[in-house]
Amino acid sequence: MKPVAATDAEARRRRQRRMARTWAARLAVLLAICIAYRYGYRRGAHSLPAVVGRESQPEMIGTRHPWWEIERVIATQPCRRRITEVILHHTWDPTAAQYAGEPTVEAILRFHARDRGWHNIAYHYIIGPDGTIWLGRPLSQVGTHTQGHNDGTIGVCLIINADVEQPSEVQIKATAIVLRTLFDRFGLSARRNFAPGHGFHRDYADKTCPGTLITKARVLRWLQGSP
């Protein structure tokens, strides 16, 4: 017959082994979930499970999303700010013709964070000519996109020089979805947002931004599904 102390020690070892196996299984499941979120499962054109949006941090761009999943992303972004307006911008430089995907967005981030000393990219959303929506500054943080009008606003920027370039069809579609989703989430009226003196960067600065080829009447048509 084994001594009581030896029996207790063996029971403890068994419990420790069971606990170790339990935690190993939990970590394996957690790792599988992380991999699934990072690389996504594909079913047609849609990713599964639901996407997780990572906003830009200093010196690091955020995740990119196609137009068909951005509604889910915006809906889950934390934001306790009181939002009263969405302000539309264009990059001017880089142009749509110069767009090269992630390196272009990284260059914008570096220019804002390093050269301008703004700590992070100025905008909350950056929309490429290929329809990709890049998450910029966290929605919960005040941007630096419109001097004197950053509190309570969201900056949405198209990568284009809309003084001389027309936005692509997919860029228009992505922009419309981003704007509609933001208006729905924060209870904003599109017509009030783009009323005279509101909604465009040029309403608040001596600039053509978001480009002379983009008018408020045109943006309202985008929101109704027209080019």
- The whole-angstrom separation of Cα 35 and Cα 117 is 34
Structure tokens at 65: 């999303």
The pLDDT score that the predictor gives to residue 72 is 93
* Same-domain pairing of 177 and 128: yes
* Same-domain pairing of 74 and 139: yes
* Same-domain pairing of 30 and 96: no
The pLDDT score that the predictor gives to residue 146 is 95
* Same-domain pairing of 27 and 65: no
* Same-domain pairing of 176 and 209: yes
Would 18 be classed as within a structural domain?
Answer: yes
Would 46 be classed as within a structural domain?
Answer: no
Q: Distances from the Cα of 27 to the Cαs of 20, 21, 33, in angstroms? A: 10, 10, 10
* Same-domain pairing of 128 and 205: yes
Give the contacts of 49 (CB within 8 A, at least 6 positions apart).
Answer: 36, 37, 41
* Same-domain pairing of 35 and 62: no
CA pseudo-torsion sign 72, 77, 111, 203: positive
Q: What share of the chain is helix, strand, coil (3-state, %, to 5)?
A: 40, 15, 45
* Same-domain pairing of 200 and 91: yes
* Same-domain pairing of 18 and 127: no
Specify the number of domains making up the chain: 2
Q: Of 26, 29, 47, 27, whose CA–CA distance to 38 is shortest?
A: 47
The pLDDT score that the predictor gives to residue 159 is 98
Structural domain for 29, as ranges: 4-39
> Which CATH number belongs to the domain containing residue 155 in this structure?
3.40.80.10
Give the contacts of 122 (CB within 8 A, at least 6 positions apart).
Answer: 112, 116, 136, 137, 143, 144, 145, 155, 157
Average pLDDT, 10 consecutive residues per value, the chain (227 residues): 55 70 61 46 39 82 92 94 97 96 94 88 96 95 95 98 97 97 97 97 97 97 88
* Same-domain pairing of 160 and 204: yes
The pLDDT score that the predictor gives to residue 66 is 93
Structure tokens at 150: 């950053």
Would 118 be classed as within a structural domain?
Answer: yes
Would 45 be classed as within a structural domain?
Answer: no
CB atoms within 10 A of CB 10: 11
- The whole-angstrom separation of Cα 59 and Cα 33 is 26
* Same-domain pairing of 59 and 21: no
pTM comes to: 0.77
Query: 191, 220 in Cβ contact below 8 A?
Result: yes
* Same-domain pairing of 21 and 84: no
